[in-house]
C-alpha cells in the first residue's frame, strides 16, 4: 500500500503509498503484538521542554505553492516516508513554526549534501471481535474475532546531480520490504482498515524496488523559493514557476490526490478510503506501484499535472502490461492554492482519471448469468481490451486555527466496468480533521477523527447480489447498503523518530452488506523514522 502516501519538492508519499503487502501466517507472533501494546504506554520523552514557538509569519493566500517560504508540517512530513504536502512555494501558515526535522527523526538529514538517505519502519497490530454475520462468502470479512499484524520497512535514497539551481536533476531509488497479513486476508471491505496491507498474502517478503525514478526541474524564472527537502525532491530551493518531470517506477499517490490531513497511514489515519480517494482506481500493481511518466507545472497560485502509467494485466495483479497502446491509466489534477478562511492556508484539488485495460463489465456479466452462460456472474468472462473506466475526485484541506485542520474528499467513477487496481468503490465522501497537541505541550502529537461513506453503482450491486466475486468483495449474496466508516486516532511522539498510536475504526455495512456487521476494529501502531 499506504505511503504513501507527497510531491515534487512537495515530496509526499504517503502513504498513502503503500498498500504494502503481508507475511505468511496469522500475523507476527503474539508476543510481538503484546510487546507493541506495552511499548505504547512507555512514558514519552523529549517534548516537555520544547522551546517556545517563534512568532507567526505574515498571512498568505494559499497553503501549497507561492513565492513565499514553505514551512513543512513536521508530523505529517516525517521526513522519511509518509509525507504531507511539501511544495516549495507553499504559502506559510499564520501559525508557529513546528519542531525542526532533527527533533522527529533519529538521524539528521543535512541540507548541504547532494545525497539523501533515510528510512522508516511501520508495525500495525489490528484486531476485531465477533460481529453479526448470518452468512458469508469466499471474499467476506470474517465474522469471528481475529487479529493480524503488518510490518513495512523502507530505505529511501536519492542523489542530486545539481543542487539548488534553476535546472536540477534527482535520481531516486527506494527499496521496500513488507510482511504480515491483513484481517480476513484483506478481503470483505472496500474501505479496508490498514493501508500497509494489500490483497495478495503470497507475495515474497524479500526486499523489492519500490521507486526508481528521475526527477527533472526546469525553471521558468530566476526567482527561487524555499523548498522542503525530502526523498522525492532533494533541492532546498526551486524556481517559483517551473516544470517538473518524473519518469520511472513510482506510486501515483506520491503526486496526485495528496492531502496533509488524510494521506499518511504511518502517522495519521489507516483506512484505505481515508488516505486515498476510494473511487480513484489509480494505475498500480498489487503493491501500489506502477511505471510511467508525469509532467507538472507549478506556479505561486496554482499547479497542474498529468501522468500516464502502466495498468496491471489482471485485476489487482502484480504484473504490469507494458503495451501502453492498449492498456494505460491517464490522470489529470489541478490545484488551486486559495484559502476559504482569511489568513489561514487552504488548497483545493480537482482530479480526473481514465483507465484503459483488459477489464470486465458488471452489467454484461449479470446479463450472461441470466442467459445461462455462467453459473454465477463472472467478471473475467467479459474482460476485453479497449474497456474504459473513468472518474473524478475533489480534495480539499483547510487550516482553521493554529492547531486545527479540516479536510474533505469526494470521489465518483462510472461503476459499470470492473474495479481493477485499488479497491471496489464507485462513490466516496469523506470529511474529517486533526488537532495537534501544542496546547498541552506536545506539538507533534495529533488527534484525528474522520467519517467516510462509500458506495457502489447498481451494476456493481447486482453483480455481487447474484453471487459474483470481485478481487476484494463477495459474500455470495448482497443486501445493499452504503459502507459507513468512522475512524479516530491519537498519535504520540515518544522521542526523536519514535511514534506510537492508538486507533479505532467503526464499520457499518462491511462490504456494502446490510445483513452483516457492524464491526469495531482496534489498532496499535509503532512507527520509526531514521
**CATH code where residue 459 lies:** 2.40.160.180
Instruction: Report the DSSP pairing between strands 519-529 and 384-399.
Output: unpaired
Backbone phi and psi for residue 80, each to the nearest 5 degrees, phi listed first: -135, -65
**Number of continuous H segments (helices) and E segments (strands) in the chain:** 5, 18
Which residues, 6 or more positions from 135, have their beta carbon under 8 angstroms from its beta carbon? 475, 476, 477, 515, 516
Q: Give Cα separations from 380 to 134, 299, 453, 477 (angstroms).
A: 28, 45, 28, 19
Cis omega (within 30 of 0) on the bond before 518? yes
d(CA 235, CA 254): 17
CA distances from 175 to 77, 156, 492 (A): 19, 7, 27
Burial of 322 (0-12, 13-18, 19+ CB in 10 A): exposed
**Within-domain flag for 12:** no
Question: Rounded CA gap, 94 and 77, in Å?
Answer: 18
Residue 24 placed within a domain: no
With a CB cutoff of 8 Å and minimum separation 6, the contacts of 204 are none
**Cα–Cα distance measured from residue 481 to residue 475, given in angstroms and rounded to the nearest whole number:** 13
Domain-embedded: residue 108: yes
Please report the pLDDT score of residue 162 as a whole number.
79
Average pLDDT, 10 consecutive residues per value, the chain (530 residues): 37 35 36 40 38 36 30 34 33 46 83 93 97 96 95 96 85 94 95 90 88 96 90 93 98 96 94 96 96 97 98 95 96 96 94 98 97 96 96 97 97 96 97 96 96 98 97 95 98 96 98 97 97
C-alpha 445/C-alpha 500 separation (Å) is 10
Structural domain includes residue 25:
no
The whole domain housing 178 covers 30-529
pTM of the model: 0.82
Find where cell 453471487 sits: 467
Using a 10 angstrom Cβ sphere, with 0-12 exposed, 13-18 middle and 19 or more buried, the burial of residue 58 is exposed
Q: Kindly tell me the sign of the dihedral angle through the C-alpha atoms of 128, 277, 382, 359.
A: negative
Check: CB of residue 243 under 8 Å from CB of residue 220.
yes
Q: If we measure between CA atoms, which residue out of 509, 510, 2, 424 comes closest to residue 254?
A: 2
φ, ψ of residue 185 in degrees (nearest 5): 55, 30
Give the pLDDT confidence score for residue 52 in this predicted structure.
39
Give the residue from 341, 281, 318 showing the smallest Cα distance to 60: 341
State the pairing for strand pair 483-495/442-455.
Answer: antiparallel
Q: Is residue 1 part of a domain?
A: no
The reported pLDDT for the residue numbered 85 is 35
Total structural domains within the chain:
1
CB-CB contact of 461 with 512 (8 Å): yes
Q: What is the pLDDT of residue 165?
A: 77
On whether residue 21 sits in a domain, the answer given is no
- What confidence score (pLDDT) does residue 84 get? 34
Query: Is there a domain that residue 477 lies in?
Result: yes
φ/ψ (deg, to 5) at 450: -150, 155
Predicted confidence at residue 203, as pLDDT, reads 85
Separation of alpha carbons 231 and 208, rounded Å: 17
Integer Rg of the chain from CA: 22
CA-CA distances (angstroms) from residue 376 to 314, 325, 371?
A: 20, 32, 11
For the chain, how long is the longest CA-to-CA vector? 73
Is residue 11 assigned to a domain?
A: no
Amino acid at each position: 500500500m499506504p505511503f504513501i502516501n507527497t510531491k515534487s519538492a512537495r515530496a509526499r508519499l504517503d502513504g498513502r503509498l503503500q498498500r504494502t503487502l503481508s507475511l505468511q501466517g496469522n500475523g507476527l507472533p503474539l508476543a510481538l503484538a503484546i510487546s507493541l501494546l506495552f511499548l505504547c504506554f512507555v512514558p514519552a520523552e523529549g517534548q516537555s521542554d520544547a522551546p517556545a514557538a517563534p512568532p507567526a509569519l505574515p498571512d498568505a493566500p494559499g497553503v501549497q505553492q507561492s513565492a513565499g517560504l514553505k514551512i513543512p508540517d513536521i508530523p505529517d512530513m516525517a521526513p522519511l516516508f509518509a509525507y504531507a504536502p511539501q511544495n516549495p512555494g507553499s504559502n506559510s501558515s499564520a501559525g508557529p513554526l513546528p519542531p525542526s526535522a532533527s527533533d522527529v527523526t533519529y538521524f539528521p538529514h543535512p541540507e548541504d549534501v547532494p545525497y539523501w538517505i533515510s528510512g522508516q519502519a511501520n508495525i500495525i497490530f489490528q484486531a476485531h471481535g465477533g460481529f453479526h454475520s448470518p452468512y458469508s462468502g469466499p471474499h467476506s470479512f470474517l465474522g469471528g474475532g481475529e487479529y493480524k499484524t503488518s510490518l513495512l520497512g523502507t530505505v529511501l535514497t536519492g542523489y542530486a546531480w545539481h543542487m539548488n539551481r534553476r535546472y536540477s536533476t534527482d535520481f531516486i531509488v527506494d527499496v521496500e520490504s513488507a510482511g504480515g497479513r491483513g484481517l480476513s486476508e484483506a478481503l470483505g471491505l472496500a474501505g479496508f482498515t490498514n493501508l500497509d496491507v494489500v490483497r495478495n498474502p503470497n507475495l515474497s517478503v524479500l526486499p523489492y524496488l519500490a521507486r526508481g525514478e528521475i526527477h527533472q526541474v526546469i525553471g521558468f524564472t530566476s526567482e527561487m523559493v524555499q523548498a522542503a527537502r525530502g526523498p522525492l525532491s532533494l533541492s532546498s530551493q526551486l524556481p517559483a514557476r517551473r516544470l517538473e518531470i518524473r519518469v520511472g517506477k513510482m506510486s501515483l499517490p506520491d503526486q496526485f490526490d495528496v492531502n496533509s490531513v488524510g494521506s499518511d497511514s504511518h502517522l495519521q489515519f489507516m483506512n484505505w478510503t481515508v488516505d486515498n480517494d476510494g473511487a480513484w482506481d489509480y494505475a498500480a500493481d498489487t503493491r501500489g506501484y506502477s511505471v510511467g511518466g508525469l509532467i507538472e507545472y507549478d506556479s505561486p497560485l496554482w499547479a497542474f499535472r498529468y501522468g500516464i502509467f502502466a495498468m496491471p494485466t489482471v485485476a489487482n495483479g502484480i504484473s504490469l502490461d507494458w503495451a501502453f497502446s492498449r492498456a494505460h491509466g491517464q490522470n489529470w489534477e489541478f490545484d488551486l492554492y486559495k484559502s476559504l478562511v482569511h489568513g489561514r492556508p487552504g488548497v483545493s484539488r480537482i482530479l480526473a482519471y481514465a483507465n484503459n485495460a483488459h477489464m470486465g463489465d458488471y452489467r454484461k456479466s449479470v446479463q450472461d448469468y441470466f442467459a445461462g452462460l455462467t453459473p454465477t456472474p463472472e467478471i473475467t468472462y467479459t474482460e476485453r481490451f479497449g474497456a474504459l473506466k473513468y472518474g473524478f475526485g475533489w480534495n480539499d484541506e483547510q487550516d482553521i486555527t493554529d492547531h486545527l485542520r479540516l479536510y474533505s474528499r469526494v470521489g465518483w467513477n462510472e461503476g459499470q466496468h470492473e474495479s481493477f487496481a485499488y479497491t471496489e468503490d464507485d462513490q466516496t465522501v469523506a470529511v474529517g480533521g486533526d488537532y495537534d497537541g501544542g496546547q498541552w505541550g506536545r506539538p507533534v502529537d495529533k488527534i484525528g477523527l474522520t467519517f467516510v461513506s462509500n458506495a457502489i453503482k447498481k451494476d456493481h450491486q447486482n453483480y455481487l447480489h447474484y453471487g459474483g466475486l470481485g478481487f476484494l468483495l463477495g459474500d455470495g449474496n448482497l443486501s445493499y447498503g452504503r459502507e459507513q466508516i468512522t475512524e479516530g486516532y491519537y498519535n504520540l511522539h515518544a522521542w526523536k523518530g519514535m511514534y506510537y498510536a492508538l486507533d479505532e475504526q467503526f464499520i457499518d455495512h462491511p462490504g456494502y452488506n446490510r445483513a452483516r456487521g457492524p464491526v469495531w476494529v482496534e489498532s496499535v501502531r509503532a512507527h520509526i523514522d531514521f
